[in-house]
Amino acid sequence: MRRIILRSVAALTLAATVTVPQQATAQELPPLPQPPIPQPTIPTVQDMRKEVDRIEYEAYKALPKELQDNPAFAGSSRPAATQSGKPRTDNPNQTDKAKSQSIADDTCSNCVAITYDDGPDALTEQLLDTLKAKDAHASFMVLAPHAYAHPELLRRMKAEGHTVGNHTDTHRELDKLPANEVEAEIKSGAAAIKAATSESPRWVRPPYGATNQTVANAAKNNGQAQALWSVDTLDWKDRNSDHICAAAVDGAQAGDIILMHDIHVTTVDAAPCVIDGLRARGLEPVSLDTLIPNPEPGRQYLSR
């Protein structure tokens, strides 16, 4: 019995000291070839905004001609872009060049104001970059909801020497509203600008250029002059950067106010051409505050 026990102990001891060859592990095997994993392309905000703008424009072009001519259909669910043509005013004599600014600033005799409505938008940053690179200045007539959504862009506009103007709260035709609603639209737009910049605007642009004496009174009560326009690029309707540039450059004279919209890709893409084209004609793109340094509250300005 003792011998059996000793043999068992010896066998166990021997087993503990014997190294059994291990089979090759998976790590020692040559790696299998792996197919390349495609990296996803993440679109930028600007890319997505361009695609939205493209889809909106295709939908607009599919409308019957009589609806295409209605600017309310130019931006799908967005606030309707400012109406084409000349502003709708019941006092056109007030907007004559000779009456708009009694004393022109001699240092700005070759100036034109380039203005952009309905933003700020995801595209506005690109436009600001272009203006900065070109050392040019503009005016941005902003809607209250967009101003609240992008206060940092309004602060950048002010910091870089641009004019920030009021384009009201909900982009309604002010000449069709009672006085209290006109007042509310202008006050709401101004409040959004002040919330972002700590400054009240000196300019208001009535949507569609639709103004009358009631609008003039409300603008005056709020310390804002009416920024209308003398050159309309029709950029809301003709989404072609070359055409927009030509409309802005070829139609401009010293003292003019040019209307565009920074919610359209084609307009933002046209900005370098507009700036270079104006300068090639001896015109300098400036802000409204530079073109008309001392605007009279309530008054309508189509040009200087």
| Residues labelled catalytic | 117, 261
CA distance 172 to 182: 9
Peptide bond into 120 cis (omega under 30): yes
Contacts of 219 (CB under 8 A, 6+ apart): 186, 204, 225, 226, 297, 298
CA distance 303 to 12: 106
Token couple for 104: 């022109």
Other CB atoms closer than 10 Å to residue 153's CB: what's the count? 24
Beta strands in 48-194 (DSSP E): 111-117, 139-142, 163-166
Q: Which residues pair with 18 in a beta bridge?
A: none
Token couple for 223: 């310390």
Are 182 and 207 in contact by the 8 Å Cβ rule? The answer is no
